[in-house]
A and B are shown apart, each in its own frame.
Chain A
Amino acid sequence: MSYEFIEGNEAVARAAMKAGCNFFAGYPITPASSIFQSMLDLIPSTGGMAIQAEDEIAAIGFCIGAAMAGRKVMTATSGPGISLYSENLGLATIGETPMVIINVQRQGPATGSATKGAEGDIQFTRWGTSGGLPVIALSPASVAEAYELTYHAFNLAERFRVPVTLLSNKEVGLTRERVDLDAIKLPPRRERIKVAEDEAFVPHGFQSSADVPVMADIGGEHIVRYTTSTHDQVAKLTTNPEIIGDMLAHYNNKIINHVDEITRVKEDFETGAQTLFISYGVTSRSVAAAVETVRRKGRKISSLVIQTLWPVPEKVILEAMQGIKKVIVPEMNLGQYLLEIQRLVPANVELVGINKMNTTLISPRQIIEEGGLL
């Protein structure tokens, strides 16, 4: 057993290397800069590149170009940078580009509190570019999970040919914790699925709508076409409503039809409990502490921690709410994921949001008090 005492941001970089990341582009921003710094330490000796772009628009542009030329890419920023990524996130979606985006959330809006934590970008991540197509986003609660989920993010990006966001938080990214990274169990690394050299290449080819098209690297043995405009399966510009509709259904279905495969949750259910916590990110740790306190008092309580915020694991949430009378959703924002629970919660179940948006963590005490669990 050997431990390290590292920050979440370093864990992200280490996981990226483990996942085979060989291209990083970023722009300095607190509290995400140390991810770039760690990548610059780790990546060049493996033949990869970490580069500082002139702004976030160029950073994600470099990443998309490099990804389509065969690299496994990552970029990291915070709220203001995600705002500048917005248009290119749409490009990566319509172009089916695998990439990993780290958002080390800080208190917004705008410049906000650069050095303070928040979880205010939950719905922004879901609706962060025009078109409203589904996205994949994971939220780590700890340094160990920052490592684990970054690795998963790379696998998911390759599996579904989409940008995958890690919704970290200054409270995870810049907090040091004891970790044993080698002890974290990870699935095999997913490599890019490429078309054979002697097979015809269809850049966005699928049989069934939810299929994920195989890829070819720009510069390889196939001619590759890529476009930001509505296109057909061979990436030819089209204005045909039927083809456009089919393509859009494909971008939607390849994610929505695979929700169960994407879903990662942590369940701590107690038989007979009538109160259920639903939480994510660093706040789920305050929930864990609150759960321990409540149980010590001899009361039953259950907790569902959601690691894959998007797409919403509706089935798991609905199952968790069975027999439950009260659902408590604490968040470091004014109630963003609460909206998702609201639309799922049965009519006879009380729904309580515990919200704080002042740069500080929600404490277990606040959860117990506002959750009516005294």
Chain B
Amino acid sequence: MTTAAIATYLDTENIALPYCPGCGHKSIVKQLDKALVKLQLDPKKVVIVTDIGCIGLADRNFMTNTFHGLHGRSITYACGVKLARPELTVIAVKGDGACGIGGTHLLNVARRNIGITLLIANNFNYGMTGGQHSVTTPDDGVTPTTPWGNFEQPMDLCATSSAAGAAWVHRATSFDRDLPDVLADAISQEGFAMVDIWELCSAYYRPRNDFRRADMMAMLTENQFKPGRITDKPRKEYSARYFETYQADRNVREDRSKISLQFEHRLDRQMGIIIAGSAGQKIKSIATLLGHAAIASGLHATQKDDYPITVMSGHSLAEVILSPHVIEYTGIDEPAIVVVISMDGVKQAGACIRALPETSTIYAEESLELPDTNAQVRRFAFIEAAKHVGKLSLATVAIGTVLQDTGPFPLAAFTAAIQKNQKPAIAEVNLKAILAGAALVNPNAAIGL
């Protein structure tokens, strides 16, 4: 059984086309219909997306899927639909006003090459709101907002889109006899295609400027705005590239994150630990491993990090809470332990160090000058010990010392966390670093590991 050919995609019986006499929109809508008739697409697989402006009233007449969205954003919805269902034919239709408010979408859809068709009904002004000037209003054009003539350079939409990377760009007018063919051609492109369609606003721009068809055509021959095909450089469409790039096998992550109970902890109360140092000292990752080890020993743990937005400079500070009970409040008002391994750390934790009570202990690199504090201060040659172990081992050395000294859980829990979560070469350095740190407290610390 053959399906009867579709004679029109427009319903103008139930809803009359609303446009002013002489408005170019009516012609554009009818020629888009002719393009669809030529292509004989299944209306259920076609989506016409509009936004605000007189041309945004057009979707109502189409017997396809329609989406009428916010001013200047039709491209974004069209892209959303197309990314969700690449098999659909998605046509965004908007005005020159929408090219101003939604300018960034115009650039980015071209650059990404998402396979929608963009039709711009370009009548050089905001017809829906009283004829104000738009990004395409010609030089000297008189509008309510340019009463003595426009002195803003009109935007060349085709050149702009092409420069942004559009694969297929065409400039036409609503008077062009071949417009349905051009539109059908645009719609048939795999990638992004844009047609800038020049036309007259019979309510505002034309009468105010005595701007007639011949004047518009004259602008097209003045070299400034080239008519016809501007760009035709097809390349692979976005969704195809996406799924080629993010193949399933590239996204299989080794699931190292599960932690099972393997050790026993020795904590009877909550313990807050602050590790204060500099960016690049691996403080964040060591704090996470500390948490892993604690959890593997049956403890609860939380971790928060503090560092400047410029991650490679300045301080790096980690707050870790270990507890035999559920941790409610995740702040550390009085840390049991503060580890300081650099001057950046001293500066950042300065106020905290000054306020520490006698019950707190500071584990400090011996060369650092600390502010006055009531806490117990224990100084260790962390830097010297780390030198013998290798690069980036300073924080691990210090944690080795703390764990050996305070023993909330076995050192073996920490070494196991390192072996499980780090790449072998890095793990090797960190395992040595733990022992070096532990040895600062007890030279026999390695025994039993």
Residues of A within 8 A of B (CB): 1-6, 23, 25, 30, 40-42, 44-45, 49, 51, 53-55, 57-58, 60-71, 87-88, 91, 114-115, 171, 174-178, 217-229, 236-237, 282, 285-286, 288-289, 292, 360-361, 363-365
> Which residues of the other chain, A, contact B333 by a CB distance below 8 angstroms?
363, 365
Kindly supply a per-residue 1/0 record for chain B positions 333-355, scoring 1 wherever the CB is within 8 Å of any chain A CB and 0 otherwise.
Answer: 10000000000000000000000
Tell whether, in the assembled complex, residue B66 and residue A226 are in contact, meaning their CB atoms are under 8 Å apart: yes
Contact A115 B44 (CB under 8 A): no
The reply to whether A5 and B251 contact each other, CB–CB distance below 8 Å, is no
Known: A41-B253, A44-B248. A65 touches B291 (CB 8 A): no
New contact pairs (10) apart from A65-B77, A176-B301, A178-B300, CB-CB < 8 Å? A58-B76, A58-B79, A58-B105, A60-B76, A62-B77, A64-B76, A64-B80, A177-B327, A178-B295, A224-B66
Q: Are A5 and B261 in contact (CB under 8 A)?
A: no
A286 to B67, CA, bound (A): 47
Q: Please, which residues of chain A bring their CB within 8 A of the CB of B329?
A: 285-286, 289, 361, 363-364
Q: How many residue pairs at the A-B interface have CB separations less than 8 Å?
A: 208
9 residue pairs A–B, Cβ–Cβ below 8 Å: A49-B83, A54-B104, A58-B105, A70-B85, A218-B47, A223-B43, A224-B66, A227-B59, A361-B329
Tell me whether A69 and B81 are in contact in the complex, defined as CB-CB below 8 angstroms, given that A177-B302, A223-B65 are known contacts. Answer: yes
A58 touches which of B104, B292, B302 (Cβ 8 Å)? B104
Closest-by-CB residue of A relative to B290 is A5
Is A225 a contact of B85 with CB atoms below 8 Å?
no
Kindly list chain A residues whose C-beta atoms are within 8 Å of the C-beta of B49: 65
Nearest Cβ on chain B to A153's Cβ, whole angstroms:
19
**Which of B31-39, B274-282, B303-311 lines the interface with chain A?**
B303-311
Q: How far is the CA of A226 from the CA of B70 in the complex (A)?
A: 11
User: Which chain B residues border A44 with CB–CB below 8 Å?
Assistant: 242-243, 246-248, 250-251
Given A178-B301, A219-B85, residue A3 in contact with residue B65 (CB < 8 A): no
In the assembly, what is the distance between CA of A282 and CA of B329, in Å? 8
A-contact 0/1 string along B353-377, CB 8 Å cutoff: 0000000000000000000000000
B78 interfacial contact with A, CB 8 Å: yes
The CA-CA distance from A54 to B164 in the complex, in Å, is: 13
Q: Is the CB of B251 within 8 A of A223?
A: no
* Min CB gap B425→A, angstroms: 23
Q: Is the CB of A3 within 8 A of B79?
A: no
Nearest chain B CB to A39 CB, angstrom units: 11
Of B76, B288, B301, the contact of A62 (CB 8 Å cutoff): B76
- A324 CB to nearest chain B CB (Å): 22
**Residue of B73, B258, B303 with most partner-chain A CB within 10 A:** B73
Range class of the B interface residue count: 35 or more
Residues of B that sit less than 8 Å from A by CB? 43-45, 47, 49, 52, 59-60, 63-70, 73, 75-85, 87-88, 104-105, 107-108, 239, 242-243, 246-248, 250-253, 257-261, 288, 291-292, 295, 299-307, 309, 327-331, 333
Q: Which of B80, B247, B288, B328 interacts with A66 by CB under 8 Å?
A: B80
Interface contact B291-A176, CB-CB below 8 Å: yes
Chain A residues near B306 (CB-CB < 8 A) = 115
Q: Measured between alpha carbons, how far is A168 from B79 in the docked complex, in Å? A: 28
Docked-complex contact A5 and B303, CB < 8 angstroms: yes
Cα–Cα distance between A51 and B112 once the two chains are bound (Å): 11
Q: Using CB atoms, name the residue of chain B closest to A171.
A: B330
Inside 8 A of A218's CB, which chain B residues have their CB? 47, 65, 67, 81, 85, 88
Q: Which residues of the other chain, A, contact B330 by a CB distance below 8 angstroms?
A: 171, 175, 177, 282, 285, 361
**When chains A and B are docked, how far (Å) is the Cα of A71 from the Cα of B81?**
9
**B309 contacts A69, C-beta separation under 8 Å:** no
Q: Is the CB of B104 within 8 A of A55?
A: yes
A286: B residues at CB distance < 8 A: 328-329, 331
* CB closest residue in chain A, given B72: A57
CA distance A236 to B11 in the complex (A): 13
Given contacts A61-B77, A171-B330, A176-B291, contact A45 B251 (CB under 8 A): yes
Contact present for B84 and A228 (CB under 8 Å) = no
A residues near B307, Cβ cutoff 8 Å: 115
B84 A70 Cβ-Cβ under 8 A? yes
| Interface residue from A30, A55, A220, A285 paired with B328 (Cβ < 8 Å) | A285
Please give the distance in Å from A180's CB to the nearest CB on chain B.
10
**Alpha-carbon distance between A2 and B258 when the two chains are bound, in angstroms:** 6
**When chains A and B are docked, how far (Å) is the Cα of A51 from the Cα of B52?**
26
Roughly how many angstroms separate A114 CA and B310 CA in the complex, as a whole number?
A: 12
Q: What is the chain A residue whose CB lies nearest that of B79? A: A62
> How long is the Cα–Cα vector from A62 to B112 in the complex, in angstroms?
13
- The verdict on A289 contacting B70 (CB below 8 Å), with A66-B84, A174-B305 known, is no
Q: Bound state CA distance, A51 and B83, in angstroms?
A: 10
**Distance in Å from the Cβ of A129 to the closest Cβ of chain B?**
11
CA distance in complex: A225, B82 (Å): 16
Q: Min CB distance, A220 to chain B, in Å?
A: 7
Contacts of A3 in B (CB 8 A): 258-260, 295
B259 / chain A contacts, CB cutoff of 8 Å: 2-5
B65 touching A225 by the CB < 8 A rule? Answer: yes
User: Known: A54-B108, A68-B67, A178-B300. Contact between A30 and B83, CB under 8 A?
Assistant: no
Q: Smallest Cβ distance from A277 to chain B, in angstroms?
A: 13
* Residues of chain B lying within 8 A (CB to CB) of residue A64: 69, 76-77, 80
- In the complex, the answer to whether A219 meets B78 with C-beta atoms within 8 Å is no
| Residue numbers in B under 8 Å from A237 (CB-CB) | 60
A55–B72 Cα distance when bound, in Å, is 14
B74 vs chain A, min Cβ distance (A): 9
CA distance A234 to B440 in the complex (A): 77
* Complexed CA–CA distance, A41 and B309 (Å): 23
Contact of B78 among A51, A65, A223 (CB under 8 A): A65
CA distance A218 to B83 in the complex (A): 12
**Most B Cβ at <10 Å: residue of A62, A67, A88, A219:** A219
Pair B88/A288 contact, Cβ less than 8 Å:
no
The answer to whether B88 and A219 have CB atoms under 8 Å apart is yes
Nearest chain-A residue to B258 (Cβ)?
A2
Chain A residue contacts of B77, Cβ below 8 A: 61-62, 64-65, 68
Known: A5-B291, A45-B252, A176-B303. A66 touches B76 (CB 8 A): no
The reply to whether A65 and B105 form a contact with Cβ atoms under 8 Å apart is: no
Q: Known contacts being A23-B84, A61-B73, A176-B303, is A360 close to B331, with CB within 8 Å?
A: yes
A303 to B28, CA, bound (A): 64
A54 touching B258, Cβ below 8 Å: no
Q: In the complex, which residues of chain A have a beta carbon less than 8 angstroms from the beta carbon of B83?
A: 23, 49, 51, 62, 65-66
A212–B336 alpha-carbon span in the complex (Å) = 54
Cβ-defined contact, A5 with B295, below 8 A:
yes
A228 to B51, CA, bound (A): 9
| Ranked 4 nearest A-B pairs via Cβ | A65-B80, A61-B76, A44-B246, A69-B84
